[in-house]
Chain A
Amino acid sequence: MTEWDNFEDHLRASLRRVEAPAGLQERILHAARLRRLRRQLWLRAAAVLLLVISAAAYGVFWRLQVRARQAEQARRQLELAIQITNRRLSQVEQQLSSIGVKTIRFEEVSQ
């Protein structure tokens, strides 16, 4: 039997747990706190950015909506104008027809 037969005991003694150095715990806690703060800042920045993008997108959407409404309003008004125009033209045509005038040709006048 040699002194190395219980080599595993030597291994256990050599590899026994060593204590963490003083100050390591505080260093790690500080690093964790910093990381948490940084993440919160990033989240806030991301939230603000998202808000800005959403507001911009909504602004674009709102402007498109307004434009669509304006276009629709304009369309209705043009239709109204055409209705009134055609009614009056038809009235005049009937009046002229009653006195024997067949059609009105505007091309001759416009040249």
Chain B
Amino acid sequence: MKRLWVIWPATALALLAQAIDFSVLDKLAGKAKESAVVNLGPEQLSLVAGLGGKGGAEKLGDLAKELRAVQVRSFEYDAPGMYDMELVRSFRDKVKASGEWTSVVSVKEKDGFTEILVKKGTQGKPGGLLIVAAEPKEVSVVHVEGLFDLSALRGLGVLPGVPSLGAGPKKEAAPSPAPKSGKQE
């Protein structure tokens, strides 16, 4: 069973008022065959910002300067039903109930859902991004806090030397009637 554990002390994040409590999601790790856990607070992000470099490394550093926190829980399972999807739903509902987050995309499927929430920011930039994606054999929750340019994050989508994890190119779709869910231009 391949596992990838990335552990950072959560104490730094506990000090950050805006951080969402991800500890409830740690229960999802129990039966996962692969796990990715990221907890980056202001101190760690400033270390990245200070690394310098050119090209992609410079862009990464610039992005790190704008962020206050990054939390990720991503788990893959051998078979459907190996994790409690209700736990993920109630996590999402709790965040939405706080009033600080606005859902911009909500995609419901038969055996899963994806929701993208954005926190109110300033200067034309979001104050945070939260992605909650639950599939039968995979669940990912990503929280990025800070005033940042989303296009900068997307611009770092393909990093040199790192295998792509399924990020595909943007597709231009023909105009159509209103979709089942989500906002449109």
* A–B contact via C-beta, under 8 angstroms: yes
In the bound complex, what is the Cα–Cα distance between A107 and B159 (angstroms)?
A: 25
A88 and B172 contacting across the interface, CB-CB below 8 Å: no
User: Please, which residues of chain B bring their CB within 8 A of the CB of A97?
Assistant: 170-173
Within 8 A of A (CB), among B119-137: 119-122, 124-127, 129, 131, 133
Q: Name the residue of chain B whose CB is nearest to the CB of A69.
A: B47
Q: Which of B64, B150, B180 is packed against the most chain A CB atoms within 10 Å?
A: B150
Residues 13 to 43 of chain A near chain B (Cβ within 8 Å): none
From B38, B126, B175, A80 is in contact (CB under 8 Å) with B38
For chain A, what secondary structure do more than half of its interface residues adopt (helix, strand, loop), or is it mixed? helix
Whether B153 contacts A82 by the Cβ 8 Å rule is yes
Q: What distance in Å separates the Cβ of A49 from its nearest Cβ neighbour in chain B?
A: 33
Q: Mark B143-185 against chain A: 1 for CB-CB distance below 8 A, else 0.
A: 0100000100110111100100111111111111101101111
Contact A96 B60 (CB under 8 A): no
B47 touching A70 by the CB < 8 A rule?
yes
Residue A105 is within 8 A (CB to CB) of chain B in the complex: yes
Contact yes or no, B6 A77, CB < 8 A: yes
| Residues in chain B near residue A95, CB distance under 8 A | 107, 114
Whether a CB of chain B sits under 8 angstroms from the CB of A81 is: yes
Which B42-90 residues have a C-beta within 8 angstroms of A? 44-45, 47-48, 50-51, 60, 63-64, 70, 72, 74
| Chain B residue contacts of A87, Cβ below 8 A | 165-167
Q: A100 and B179: CB pair below 8 A? A: yes
Query: B99 to nearest A CB, angstroms?
Result: 15
Q: Are B129 and A85 in contact, CB atoms less than 8 angstroms apart?
A: yes
Asked if A104 contacts B173 (CB within 8 A), the reply is no
Bitwise, A83-111 to B at CB < 8 A (1) or not (0) is 11111111111111111111111111111
Contact A86 B171 (CB under 8 A): no
Evaluate contact between A104 and B177: CB separation under 8 angstroms.
no
Asked if A104 and B140 make an inter-chain contact with CB atoms under 8 angstroms apart, the answer reads no
Q: Tell me the A residues contacting B by CB distance below 8 Å.
A: 67, 70-72, 74-75, 77-111
Other 7 A-B pairs with CB < 8 A, given A81-B72, A99-B173 = A71-B47, A78-B40, A79-B156, A92-B107, A101-B184, A102-B185, A109-B118
Interface residues of B (CB under 8 A from A): 6, 8, 36, 38, 40, 44-45, 47-48, 50-51, 60, 63-64, 70, 72, 74, 102, 104-105, 107, 114, 116, 118-122, 124-127, 129, 131, 133, 140, 142, 144, 150, 153-154, 156-159, 162, 165-177, 179-180, 182-185
